[in-house]
Amino acid sequence: MATQARMRLLVGGGASVVLAALALWVPVEPRFPPAWQSPAQAAERAERDLPALGLLWGKVRGWSRVGTGWTVLWQPSHGMWLVSAWVPDGPAEIRWRIDAAPWLPGVRLSRAAAEVLLGPSGGVEQARERLGRRDWQVGESRLLGALPAGGELPSAGLLRRPVVLAVLVGLLLAGAVSRHLVPGVPGRGWRYSVVSVVLLLFATLPELPALAPMTFQPGVRPWVAELAFGTAAVLLLGALMYAGQRFPATAGSSPVALLPLALAVGALAGRFEPAIWLVNVAGLTLRLPVLVGLAVLAGWLAGIAGSGLRELLRFSAFARVVGLSLLGVAGVGFGGAWTGVTLAVVSAAAVERGWGTWMGMGVVWGWFFGSLWVVARWETALWDALVFVLLGCGVVAVAHLAREHRSAKSESPASP
């Protein structure tokens, strides 16, 4: 029995490697320009190449990938201003901007900053300080420090798909209700997994505000912004932990034969339509635990939505085939950044209940890997992407072997 299990696992593992290689080998035109440097490298370059502007920049507070570069944000601890810079991957010019608190007309720019703004021809003739308004008087005109200084930075385009999102949220709610109305045997392992990854994400919380640079605002001290983000994250993770107990995945063996396929489908989806936000996650120091935590939670949620879809289409076999096919095609055609999630939900709904969460997680795992492979092209991120996918395969293998071992023990005749 154990030998059969090992053989199945070996075949499954081999299939995973072959399919993952195939998914990486399929020629795909990248939809987003890949990032060739990490945000930390971009920040270092900006600090090295930009004039200091006579301002205290403070610590790097966050970053986001915009076009072919990184927008990095600095803020001093008093929070009175934000310095942001868009650092392109190539040798192009770095663009920067200073935003000061609206209540601070007294943010008088330094002479160096004023000279940068006025260009080489203009000189700061007179530093005239007035009550609460410390401006530079330049001939007839006045340079107000409180106005946004520097240029406009490029902004990321919106990737919203409201219809897809609404369908996914509806399926999630249907799945939550269906897990109560059509109860199965709750999987203890899944419950532990959700709790464990939530605790893991709690541990990485101090790093996570960097992923939400919009939280930092001029005039708001950064610790308050971090507190706001942390509170929101704690509430969200707490709710997920609660939901993990209340709507647990159904127990079931891992579908070793199907998981390689799910991984490959996910990886291919990630290469076609990468989750662009993952490149921001890849910029974290603790990227691996964060990726694992997010993938487990996303896979489990895909399992819940899949349960909802399965129950909604249960009334006829024909409807099930047509519904799943339509949603799959719609997800690939119109899903945009949600393609991977849509495919994970369809995969979870297409198999039996005990396998749903496994399949959802397999697709999400592959989708994360494929996305990272396409968009985060600096060395450490690529290595961590490989470790991420191997870690997932390893955990599945261990879970499968442990289950087979348990079932073999329970089937063996009781010792006298």
Partner 1 sequence: MFRVRYALQVLVAAASLVVAMDLVKGRGVPGEVQAGALARAALVRLGYEPLGEPTATFEGDQELAWALERARPGPAGVRLARGQGGAVRWRVVFPGGGEAQVTVDGVIWSLRRPVPSAPGPALFPSMARSRVETAVAEAIPDPSAWGLVRAQGWREGGHIWQRGWYVGGAGELPSGWRRELELEMVGSTVVSWRRTVHPLGTDLGVVTGRMAELQLLRRPALLGLGILVIGVFVAAAESVAYRESTAITRGVAYGLVTAVAGSFASDTLVAAPIQGVVAAVVVALLPVWTGLPRTRLRFGPAAGVALAAVTLAGRAYILGAGGWTPVTPPVPGDISPIRLLADSWAPALVEEPLLRGALPALAAPIVGWWGAALLAAPVGVLLHPLPTVPLAASFALELVLQVGLAVVARFAGVGGAVLARGTCEALVRRASYPVGSDWERVALIGVILGAVLLLWPRRRG
Positions touching partner 1 (CB under 8 A) are: 79-80, 101-106, 131-133, 173, 176-177, 180-181, 215, 217, 219-221, 224-225, 227-229, 231-232, 235-236, 238-239, 242, 245-246
Taking the complex as a whole, how short is the minimal distance between the CB of residue 201 and partner 1, in angstroms? 16
Smallest gap from residue 235 Cβ to partner 1 (A): 5
Give least dist CB 181 to partner 1, A. Answer: 5
Question: Is the Cβ of residue 100 or residue 276 nearer to partner 1 in the bound state?
Answer: 100
Report the residue number, 261 or 304, with the smaller CB distance to partner 1. 304
Question: Phi and psi at residue 321, in whole multiples of 5°?
Answer: -65, -50
Candidates 341, 351, 254, 355; CA nearest to 305 is 341
Report in angstroms how near the CB of residue 148 gets to partner 1 at its nearest. Answer: 17
Q: How far is the CB of 217 from partner 1 (least distance, A)?
A: 7
220, burial (CB in 10 Å: exposed 0-12, middle 13-18, buried 19+): middle
User: In this structure, are residues 338 and 168 in contact, taking their beta carbons and an 8 Å threshold?
Assistant: yes
Cα(first)–Cα(last) distance of the chain, in Å?
Answer: 22
Query: Smallest distance from the beta carbon of 305 to partner 1, in angstroms?
Result: 13
Q: Is the Cβ of residue 18 or residue 224 nearer to partner 1 in the bound state?
A: 224
Nearest to 117 by CA among 89, 155, 143: 143
Q: Closer to partner 1 at the Cβ: 146 or 302?
A: 146
CB atoms within 10 A of CB 191: 17
Phi, psi of 26 (to 5 degrees): -55, 125
Which CB, 113 or 237, lies closer to partner 1? Answer: 237
Which one, 241 or 284, has the nearer CB to partner 1?
A: 241
Q: For residue 318, how many C-alpha atoms fall within 13 Å in the half-sphere facing its CB?
A: 0
**12 or 218: CB nearest partner 1:** 218
* Nearest approach, Cβ of residue 223 and partner 1 (Å): 10
